[in-house]
Amino acid sequence: MSGLVLYNTRTRKKERFEPLETGRVGIYTCGPTVYSAQHIGNLRSQLIADLVRRAFDSEGYEVTHVINITDVGHLTDDADAGEDKLERAARETGRRATDIAAHYTEQWLTDRAKLGCLPPDVLCKATDHIGEQIEMLRLLEEKGYTYRIDDGIYFDTSKFPQYSDFARLDLAGQESGARIGDVAGKRNPPDFALWKFAAGGVKRQQEWDSPWGRGFPGWHLECSSMSLKYLGENFDVHTGGIDHVPVHHTNEIAQSECALGVHPWVRFWIHGEFLDFRGEKMAKSMGNVALLSDIEARGIPPLAFRYFFLQAHYRQQQTYTDDAMDAAATGYDRLVARAAEFRGAEGRVDEGKLEARREPFRAAIRDDLNAPQALAIATAVSRDGNLEPQERWKLIQEFDQILGLELENAVPRASMKEIDPRIDARVEQRQAARAAKDWATADRIRDELAAEGIVIEDGSDGVRWRRT
């Protein structure tokens, strides 16, 4: 029996995880739409998925993690009207859509690696799976769930009575166009496109022949068809952002359960909250985005953003500011510096002492991935004077298999120096006392600061202080 207890969006409660197949877990994560650079809000959803994957690894499961790349079909209103985001980017820049997708996919993969995310077992592109999407649409048509209008083939949500269950939607209160765009000819407001026809007189770079006419797949169809190919008709865990619940994931469930005749299609749904950017949801459409490269340009290592992410629970909104990022970078530097002090230490360990500290860390992760609590425990272990250096090192290595902060290799920033005017003044007073050979005063200041957890380091390049 698994020790993990996870909040399941499908049931709106925490549940003990049990896999569909003993010892194995299948995870599908909604990946990026690669029409522009992925901002740190997008990357937070990947950090959540990586934490989920690492938690299952730590429980001894054999994990298959699938992440998709959306390189066609995602329209500008996230539904059935507007322009394909890749096509619009191609038109505005004069570049090929495939080149744009390749460029931003590479940027996203590079950023994921910088953040310590494990590579997925399967990375699949929508444009590489057009045949699979056509096949799923054919199944839906055979079972009577589709209808045709001027601009495409649509899913008839009235044929799926459970449509509103997942997102707790008030379908009776919806007005046409209020949720997913106003498309002429739709039978019901929440009906969604499965295949969009190529518009006459409009030259698209990405379109394909199909039994229904030339066009391209709707956004939602890709995830259902690719998860079917790589994880089967049922699988264990689907992750994504909380914004996917009312439309994208609701539509995935509808088309998958109807096409495949299964319920539930996915056992556990795990959704992360937004990254709040100075009081607003971070979104490209709002123009208030920050990239990982922006953080790096300020001299902050990318893994400090992972540390920042771990400071909040994945189901809580997290506010990003420069000050909050600076504080996280300082915290990460301290942890790296402490780990460097006992890194590689060897010798006999007391397993009883280690287990006493492992258990609360394990319990935090098993309690719906409580990363803030787990990080606090790891930080406490790094400075636990009741542990030998080799004991601290062994625990930190184990904990970091889940935290992913790369403490085995990371080095503190050479320029790291926390600014605190009061402490700086006390250090200067100590230096003045030492210069005057007033050793008693110098020692008293040193001891007073030590009582606050401040260590003074006298080196050939000057005096520095740090918190323990």
Mean pLDDT, the chain, integer = 91
The predicted model gives 79-88 an average pLDDT of: 81
Give the pLDDT score at 279.
Answer: 65
Closest to 379 measured CA to CA, from 355, 399, 351: 399
Closest to 42 measured CA to CA, from 103, 97, 109, 99: 109
pLDDT at 67 over 60: yes
Cβ–Cβ under 8 Å, residues 121 and 63: yes
Q: Kindly state the helix (H) or strand (E) to which residue 372 belongs, with its residue range.
A: helix 371-382
Cβ–Cβ under 8 Å, residues 71 and 100: no
This prediction's pTM: 0.86
Least confident of 21-30, 212-221, 275-284, 385-394: 275-284
Least confident of 58-62, 240-244, 263-267, 432-436: 432-436
**CA distance linking residue 321 with residue 263, whole number of Å:** 42
SS3 276: strand
Closest to 151 measured CA to CA, from 189, 182, 188: 182
Give the pLDDT score at 174.
Answer: 53
Buried b (16+ CB within 10 A) or exposed e, 61-85: bebbbbbbbbbbbbbeebbbbeebb
Instruction: Write the pLDDT tens digit of every residue in 348-401.
Output: 999 999 999 999 999 999 999 999 999 999 999 999 999 999 999 999 999 999
pLDDT at 463 over 60: yes
Give the pLDDT score at 172.
Answer: 67
Give the pLDDT score at 418.
Answer: 61
CB count in 10 Å sphere of residue 328? 21
Instruction: Write the pLDDT tens digit of every residue in 119-160.
Output: 999 999 999 999 999 999 999 999 999 999 999 999 999 999
Q: Give Cβ neighbours of residue 466 (< 8 Å, ≥ 6 apart).
A: 334, 337, 418, 454, 455, 457
**CA distance linking residue 221 with residue 218, whole number of Å:** 6
Give the pLDDT score at 241.
Answer: 95
Least confident of 214-223, 442-451, 456-465: 456-465
Cβ–Cβ under 8 Å, residues 19 and 64: no
Q: How confident is the model at residue 432 (pLDDT cuts 50, 70, 90)?
A: confident
CB count in 10 Å sphere of residue 60? 8
Q: Give Cβ neighbours of residue 459 (< 8 Å, ≥ 6 apart).
A: none
